[in-house]
Chains A and B, each alone.
Chain A
Amino acid sequence: MNSWANIKAIVKRELGGYFTSPIAYVFLVIYLLLTGFFTFTVGSFFERGEASLVSFFTWHPWLYLFLVPAVGMRLWSEERRLGTMELLLTMPVTTWQAITGKFLASWLFLALALVLTFPVAITVNWLGDPDNGVIFAGYVGSILLAGSYLAVASMTSAMTRNQVISFILSVLICLFLILAGYEPVTGLLSRVASPQVVEVVAAFSVMTHFEGFQRGVLDTRDIVFFASVMGFALFTTGVIIRNQRAG
Chain B
Amino acid sequence: MIRVENLVKSFGAKLAVNDVSFTVERGEVLGFLGPNGAGKSTTMRMITGFIPPTSGRITIGGHDMLEDPLPAKRLIGYLPENAPGYADMTVSGFLNFAAELRGLQGDARKRAVGRAIELCFLQNVVHQTIDTLSKGYKHRTGLAQALVHDPDVLIMDEPTDGLDPNQKHEVRGLIKHMGEKKAIIFSTHILEEVEAACSRVIIIDRGRIVANGTPQELKARSPEGRLEDVFRAITLPDTVKGH
A interface vs B, CB < 8 Å?
2, 5-6, 9-10, 12-13, 16-17, 20-21, 82-84, 86-87, 89-94, 245-247
Q: Whole-angstrom distance between the alpha carbons of A122 and B100 in the complex?
A: 41
- Indicate if the CB atoms of B97 and A83 lie closer than 8 Å: no
Contact B84 A16 (CB under 8 A): no
- Tell me if B20 counts as interface (CB < 8 A to partner A): no
User: How close is B61's CB to chain A, nearest CB, in angstroms?
Assistant: 13
**Quick one: which of A6, A16, A86 contacts B50, CB cutoff 8 A?**
A86
* B200 interface residue (CB < 8 Å to A): no
A20: chain B residues within 8 A (beta carbon): 88-89, 129
A9 touching B48, Cβ below 8 Å: no
Q: Give Cα distance in the complex from A17 to B76, angstroms.
A: 26
In Å, the complex CA distance between A82 and B145 comes to: 16
Q: Considering only CB atoms, which chain A residue lies closest to B145 in the complex?
A: A87
Nearest B residue to A98 via CB reads: B101
A73 to B89 alpha-carbon distance, docked (Å): 19
Complex Cα distance A82/B80, Å?
11
Query: With A and B bound together, what is the CA distance between A2 and B84 in angstroms?
Result: 25
Query: B97, A245: Cβ atoms under 8 Å?
Result: no
State how many angstroms separate the Cβ of A73 from the closest Cβ of chain B.
Answer: 16
Q: Which residues of B contact A (CB under 8 A)?
A: 9, 11, 45, 48-52, 69-71, 73-74, 76, 78, 80-82, 84-89, 93, 97-98, 100-103, 129, 145
Residue of B nearest to A84 (CB): B84
Most chain A beta-carbon neighbours within 10 Å: one of B45, B74, B88, B98 = B88
The 8 closest A-B pairs by CB, nearest first: A83-B84, A9-B100, A92-B73, A90-B48, A91-B101, A86-B80, A92-B74, A84-B84
Q: Apart from A5-B103, A20-B129, A86-B80, what are 4 other A-B pairs with CB-CB below 8 Å?
A: A20-B88, A82-B87, A86-B50, A245-B50
Given contacts A82-B84, A91-B73, contact A13 B49 (CB under 8 A): no
Residue of A nearest to B157 (CB): A86
B72 to A: closest C-beta gap in Å: 9
Alpha-carbon separation in the docked complex, A20 to B129 (Å)? 10
Known interface pairs A17-B86, A20-B89, A83-B82. Does A94 touch B51 (Cβ–Cβ under 8 Å)? Answer: no
Please judge, given known A-B contacts A5-B103, A6-B101, whether A21 and B88 are in contact too, CB under 8 Å. yes
Q: A92-B73, A245-B50 in contact; A87/B78 too (CB < 8 A)? A: yes
Closest B residue to A245 using CB positions: B51
**Which chain B residues border A90 with CB–CB below 8 Å?**
48-50, 73, 76, 78, 80
Separation of A21 and B48 alpha carbons in the complex (Å): 32
Task: List 15 contacting pairs A-B, 8 Å CB cutoff, sorted by A.
Answer: A5-B103, A6-B101, A21-B88, A82-B85, A82-B87, A84-B84, A84-B85, A86-B50, A86-B84, A87-B78, A87-B145, A91-B98, A92-B71, A92-B74, A247-B11
Residues of chain A within 8 A (CB-CB) of B93 are 13, 16
- Bound form: Cα–Cα A12–B86 in Å: 13
A242's closest neighbor in chain B, by CB?
Answer: B52
Which residues of A lie under 8 Å from residue B84 when comparing CB positions? 82-84, 86-87
Q: Would A94 and B70 count as touching, CB distance under 8 A?
A: yes
Q: Which residues of the other chain, A, contact B78 by a CB distance below 8 angstroms?
A: 87, 90
Set of chain A residues within 8 Å of B80, measured between Cβ atoms: 83, 86-87, 90
Q: Shortest beta-carbon distance, B36 to chain A, in Å? A: 17
**A13 lies within 8 A of B97 (CB):** yes
CA distance A17 to B145 in the complex (A): 18
- Shortest C-beta distance, A217 to chain B (Å), equals 42
A87-B78, A87-B84, A91-B73 given as contacts; is B89 within 8 A of A17 (CB)?
yes
CB-CB nearest in chain A for B82: A83
| B52 with A246: CB separation less than 8 A | yes
